Amino acid sequence: MERMLPFTAEHEMFRKSFRSFLEKEIAPKYPEWEKNGIVDRDAYRKMGEQGYLCPWVDEKYGGTGADFLYSLIIGEEIARLNLTGFFVFLHSDIVAPYIDSFGTEEQKMRWLPDCVSGKKILAIAMTEPNAGSDLAAMRTRAVRDGNSYVLNGSKTFISNGILADLVVVAAKTDPQAGARGVSLFVVEAGTKGFERSKPIPKIGMHAQDTAELYFEDCRIPAENLLGQEGYGFYYLMQKLQQERLVAAMINQAVAEHCLEITLQYVKERQVFGKPLSSFQNTQFCLAELATEIQIGRTFVDALILQHMANKNVVQEVSMAKYWICEMVNRVATRCLQLFGGYGYCSEYEISKLFVDARVQTIYAGTSEIMKLIISRGLGLK
């Protein structure tokens, strides 16, 4: 089925060149990153040199002012080469937009060029050990003290937590005001009182560094406040639409890749003297998965168009994040089954797709939180 998105010849040229870049510069090194539990910093610099980081950023900050389809292409190609532990989409399309949308001109001039070049790597710190998806329950405090804020608290499961040079941190500036007492701050690596744990071991996504962050009497300049004090929760809610859309986009492409490699495998694999693809069970299973994947593709592409038109699709994006991340787990599980015992062997790509898919229903808002948001949108309380 032809996609509804308005890709141009320039988009397709960009896709081709970016895929070539990934195959040459990233894919050969990725197994080593998985082994080490972290991506080489140099990979971000190489991405930046080619204009592949934050392509949407205005030219005066070093970007090219590209449309959202370029971000989509970058995410899709990373997913289709099974490189999803390389979290450039977090850097470019989830964290950098906070600086661009809520930063002062001075902050944007100070930080965005280095984000575009890859000299500075970004992370965002919302989740806390005892708060999880409940952002309003966060305990990290930021107290104004003259020309500084003093941060105390901790954050956990922070993607890019080891690599990050700039971390957008959510903290309570008014503990009595609930969600309205949250503010956002940019904390720079090397700031006294800012420490990180060792990388958190995970069952999948091994190349992506995840860490706990600690703030103990961490004094940051008042000019590192992002936007207005007390508006942090509003800013987070405003940007979660794109974050969850990005998650849906990436996982849609992963599901398509799972199907692609499984179709190839079942045509080549011989069972009882016949191709595995000739058995009705195989045919019906893949027919079902292909149908689910096509439904997901149609839904995601429609949401991308709405998002690019600046429509409020929080309800629908929450549906997409929930359904597609659950779907990719179903697809990876059933595709692995068709590989038989080989699917459980780590040298087969499907095994990595299977373990990496598991976290998708958890991060960027769990499936349960997505269903809660959807329910509220239906007027259910």
Q: What is the 3-state secondary structure (H, E, C) of 323-351?
A: HHHHHHHHHHHHHHHHCHHHHHCCCCHHH
From 90, 119, 148, the end of a domain falls on 119
Among the candidates 207, 230, 253, a domain finishes at 230
3-state SS, the chain, equals: CCCCCCCCHHHHHHHHHHHHHHHHHHHHHHHHHHHHCCCCHHHHHHHHHCCCCCCCCCHHHCCCCCCHHHHHHHHHHHHHCCCCCCCHHHHHHHHHHHHHHHCCHHHHHHHHHHHHHCCCCEEEECCCCCCCCCHHHCCCEEEEECCEEEEEEEEEEEECCCCCCEEEEEEECCHHHHHHHEEEEEEECCCCCEEECCCCCCCCCCCCCEEEEEEEEEEEEHHHEECCCCCHHHHHHHHHHHHHHHHHHHHHHHHHHHHHHHHHHHHHCEECCEEHHHCHHHHHHHHHHHHHHHHHHHHHHHHHHHHHCCCCCHHHHHHHHHHHHHHHHHHHHHHHHHCHHHHHCCCCHHHHHHHHHHHHHCCCCCHHHHHHHHHHHCCCC
Residue 82 lies in a domain: yes
Q: For residue 323, what is the domain's CATH number?
A: 1.20.140.10
Residues 113 and 168 in one domain: no
230-261 pLDDT, tens digit each: 999 999 999 999 999 999 999 999 999 999 99
pLDDT of 136 reads 66
Q: Which two tokens stand for residue 39?
A: 């991506």
Determine the Cα–Cα distance for residues 300 and 311; give it in Å rounded to an integer.
14
Low-confidence ranges of the chain (pLDDT < 70): 132-136
Token representation of residue 247: 């998650």
What CATH number does the domain containing 202 carry?
2.40.110.10
Let me know whether 305 and 337 are in one domain.
yes
pLDDT, residue 13, reads: 98
Cα–Cα distance for residue pair 108/110, rounded to 1 Å: 5
Looking at 97, 119, 141, which one is the last position of a domain?
Answer: 119
Do 372 and 263 sit in the same domain of this protein?
A: yes
Give the domain range for residue 154.
Answer: 123-230
Distance, in Å, from the CA atom of 369 to the CA atom of 321, rounded to the nearest integer, reads: 10
CA distance 323 to 319: 6
Query: Residue 96: which CATH number?
Result: 1.10.540.10
* Shared domain check, 356 and 244: yes
Show Cβ contacts of residue 323 under 8 Å, excluding neighbours closer than 6 positions. 296, 299
Q: How many domains would you assign to the chain?
A: 3
Say yes or no: 185 and 149 in one domain. yes
The verdict on residue 156 lying in a domain is yes
What is the per-residue burial (b if ≥16 Cβ within 10 Å, else e) of 294-332? eebbebbbebbebbeeeeebbebbbbbbbbbbbbbbebb
Q: Is residue 3 part of a domain?
A: no
Say which residue the tokens 């922070």 belong to: 158
Does a structural domain hold residue 1? no
Domain membership of residue 306 (yes or no) is: yes
Residue 134 pLDDT: 66
2 falls within a domain: no
Same domain for 249 and 353, yes or no, is yes
Q: Are residues 93 and 145 in the same domain?
A: no
Domain match, 224 and 161 both: yes
Q: Is 283 within a domain?
A: yes
**What pLDDT is attached to residue 295?**
98
- pTM for the complete prediction? 0.95
Q: Do residues 366 and 281 share a domain?
A: yes
256 and 225 co-located in one domain: no
Which positions are catalytic?
243
170 and 253 inside one domain: no
Domain assignment of residue 4, yes or no: no
Are residues 194 and 88 located together in one domain of the fold?
Answer: no
Residue 66 phi/psi, 5-degree rounding, is: -75, 160
What pLDDT score was predicted for residue 245? 98
